[in-house]
Structure 1
Amino acid sequence: MLETSAGGIVVDVVDGRARIAVIARRNRAGRVEWCLPKGHQEADETLVETAEREVAEETGIEGRVLVTLGTIDYWFSTHDRRVHKIVHHYLLEATGGDLTIENDPDQEAIDVAWIHLDEVHNHLTFPNERRIARLAWERLAGEG
């Protein structure tokens, strides 16, 4: 089964330093994982619309997509099926809102935080998401 999701890195610059909103969630084993906001594409949405909606729902921060950062492609199994998941990541500019998990309809996020982009590699759980954060850094630095 194929699942498509979108989300990304919503950036806010404060005092000349870029920071991004990340969420914490519990995995199936109950461990806390810090990750980028993302979620399933609704039937009538574009990937860009999905990314903007999911970031707002999971972090409380409204954003506008600036550029595509890349995809993460992986497989996982549930009790009754094997799933091929593709997650499309975007760089978003923060345009409003307040940091909160209160708007998450799935209530998947248990916490949300601003992390400086140059320090996020110390906080994100998954190497593939650290790679996406590095791509965001490169784009913002004019290297990508």
Structure 2
Amino acid sequence: MPSETTPPRRRLKAVEEHSAGGLVVDRDTLRAALIARRDRRGRLLWSLPKGHIEDGESAVQAALREVEEETGIVGRVLAPLGVIDYWFTAPDRRVHKTVHHYLMEAAGGDLSDEDIEVEAVAWVPLGALSARLAYPDERRLAVRAPELLADSA
């Protein structure tokens, strides 16, 4: 129970957000394109490219667009990789975010960090993804890639 000097806790509105992205792989070199962003503490965190699903866009269309915008690589979807959902708090709301991930094959483009939201991009060997990816849920998805690649060959 709050004391008389403690202000009452404000209840934040809960909202749903949906994003899509994926793991885009160069089959010739068995490397995947990752992006890095700085967190609030200034740490460089490596992750899978992803972003909001725009109005009228499917999750697959959004995943392909976001991968190209954030990495410069044009992808072709091979298989669903998995869904991650989590909660976070913004200043004015609690957000339940659902992110649809796809395994993609690199079909063109050049690796580029021109997207303003991305600090760096890199091709990372599939075997090194678990060590490089910052988020456990993304590491869990990435370990599925070799098996899914074999199935789609």
TM-score (norm: length of structure 1) = 0.92
- Give the deviation of 1:50 after TM superposition: 0.2
Identity %: 58
Q: Tell me the alpha carbon deviations over residues 42-95 of structure 1, each in whole angstroms, 9 at most, x when there is no partner.
A: 001110000000000000000011110110010000111100000000011111
Q: Of 45, 48, 71, which residue of structure 1 is paired with 2:83?
A: 71
Verify the 8 A CA contact 1:5 1:88 in the aligned structure 2: yes
Q: Does residue 1:114 correspond to 2:123, yes or no? A: yes
Please, which of 123, 128, 131 is the counterpart of residue 137 of structure 2? 128
Question: 2 CA distance for matches of 1:82 and 1:18?
Answer: 38
Whether 1:60 aligns to 2:72 is yes
In structure 2, stretches of 5+ residues that fail to align are: 1-14
**Residues 1-144 of structure 1: pairs in structure 2 closer than 5 A:** 1-14=15-28, 17-102=29-114, 104=115, 107-142=116-151
CA distance in 1, matches of 2:102, 2:17: 17
RMSD (Å) for aligned C-alpha atoms: 1.3
* Equivalent residue pairs, number: 138
For structure 1, the 5+ residue unaligned runs are none
Q: How far 1:31 sits from its partner (Å)?
A: 1.2
CA distance in 1, matches of 2:41, 2:87: 18
